[in-house]
Amino acid sequence: MTQTIQWFPGHMNKARNEIKDIMPEMDVVIEVIDARIPYSSENPMVAKLRGQKPVIKILNKADLADPDQTKAWIEYLESQDQVKAIACDDNKTVEVKRIVQLCKQLIPNKVGTGRQIKVLIMGIPNVGKSTLINALAGRSIAKTGDEPAVTKSQQLIKIDDDIMLYDTPGMLWPKIENPNSGYRLAATGGIKDTAFDFADVASYTAEYLIEAYPELLKARYKIEELPKTDWEFFEVAGRNRGLLQKGGIVDTYRMSEILVNELRSGTLGRISLETPEMREKEEVMVEGLLAAAAEKKEAKVEEKRLRRLRARKNRK
């Protein structure tokens, strides 16, 4: 499965410009990511544009993620410069207090001065940014326009006398260079179903789960001996579920839908689709892909230049 999923229409510039303009004024950045895929749900722009500003990474939807992996991710992220990380589940009461406290600890010289700590909150769509904003504000705040066609102005949300939250309406896309990230974003419901081939995503998911969470699959789908391949798994699990079509053929497509839906809802158990080790490895792969693409582009430019040169010579 090497095909790259292209689901982004390219509205990144608007968000980039908004963030670039506002960043110099900010004291702290909050980046909301998905605890099940902390690597793929990041936006690479945040790291590029924040410079030396402190960032608090919120590993949201931690109630759906593998607690051991979330712990490993927090350690990994906090080993980076100016990065703090907090896991957040669907009851955000405790975490919200910690986030507020942390902002004040990071910028102590503004506390109680009447000059508010300016906090920029960012996150890819559907990661739970609005839910977190509401929890931080203690009231329901209207969503900023996250449809590319809707232009709404930036929102300023007062958290308390010391903290002002800034929410930008531009769309922030997740990682697009890594094909694996596309599958994981799709598997967790982070991108819309129409943007990818569902069968591919389900296959990717099954392959990963057979390797990383065999016991959960065995328990949920009542399988004693787990098959090694995705298609055999869909066959066996589908048969156990009674998903039979005419002639006793198993409806493997229906089974693949069930698997992905049960992963998304947490019915299958608490599952993470990424580890810090995977990130390290894949970053190297992505660098290679980007370098190869840049080389190809350069070669094309050179070819064009030579063609023009030849055409000019022929005219003489």
The reply to whether 270 sits near ligand G4P by the rule CB under 6 A is no
Of the pair 116, 126, the CB lying nearest ligand G4P is at 126
Dmax (CA) for the chain in angstroms is 78
- Dist CA 57 CA 86 (whole Å): 6
Both ends of the chain: CA-CA distance in Å?
50
CB nearer ligand G4P, residue 64 or residue 83: 64
Judged by CB under 6 A, does residue 87 bind ligand G4P?
no
- Least Å distance, CB 203 to ligand G4P, is 25
Measured from the CB atom, the residue of 88 and 259 that comes closer to ligand G4P is 88
Residue closer to ligand G4P, measured from CB, 89 or 232: 89
CA 44, 174, 14, 158 dihedral sign is negative
Of 124 and 206, the one with the shorter C-beta distance to ligand G4P is 124
**Whose Cβ is closer to ligand G4P: residue 42's or residue 230's?**
42
β-sheet bridge partners, residue 59: 33, 87
Instruction: Please identify, among the stretches 82-90, 100-108, 191-199, 278-286, the one whose residues bind ligand G4P according to the rule CB under 6 A.
Output: 82-90
**Which two three-digit tokens encode residue 13?**
């510039």
Q: Which residues contact 100 (CB under 8 A, 6 or more apart)?
A: 136, 159, 160, 163
Cα 124 → chain centroid: 6
Q: Which residue lies nearer to ligand G4P by CB, 64 or 210? A: 64
* Nearest alpha-carbon partner for 220 in 250, 241, 199, 204: 241
**Binding region for ligand G4P (CB under 6 A) out of 121-129, 167-175, 197-205, 254-262:** 121-129
Site for ligand G4P in 34-63 (CB under 6 A): 60-61, 63
* Binding to ligand G4P in span 126-145, by CB under 6 A: 126-131
CB of 288 to ligand G4P, least distance (A): 31
3-class DSSP state of 144? coil
Q: Which is nearer to ligand G4P, 63 or 177 (CB)?
A: 63
- When asked if residue 169 is in the footprint of ligand G4P (CB under 6 A), the reply is no
| Minimum distance of ligand G4P from residue 272's CB (angstroms) | 14
160 binds ligand G4P (CB under 6 A): no
Minimum distance, C-beta of residue 189 to ligand G4P, in the bound complex (Å): 8
Closest among 262, 273, 276, 265 to 64, alpha carbons compared: 265
Window of 9-17, 125-133, 179-187, 244-252 that interacts with ligand G4P by CB under 6 A? 125-133
Q: Do 120 and 80 form a contact (C-beta atoms < 8 A)? A: no
DSSP sequence for 256-276? HHHHHHHHHHTTT-S--S--H
Decide if residue 84 touches ligand G4P (CB under 6 A): no
**For residue 313, which phi and psi values (nearest 5 degrees)?**
-60, -45
Q: Does 90 bind ligand G4P (CB under 6 A)?
A: yes
The reply to whether 125 sits near ligand G4P by the rule CB under 6 A is yes
Task: Output the CA torsion 204→208→209→210 (10° steps).
Answer: 100
Residue 255 binds ligand G4P (CB under 6 A): no
Residue with tokens 């010579």: 313
Residue 273 sits at φ, ψ, to 5 deg, of -100, 0
- R_g of the chain computed on alpha carbons: 23
Task: Say whether residue 168 binds ligand G4P (CB under 6 A).
Answer: no
Residues 39 and 167: their CA atoms lie apart, in Å, by 22
Closest to ligand G4P by CB, 127 vs 243, is: 127
The residues binding ligand G4P (CB under 6 A) are 60-61, 63-64, 88-90, 123, 125-131
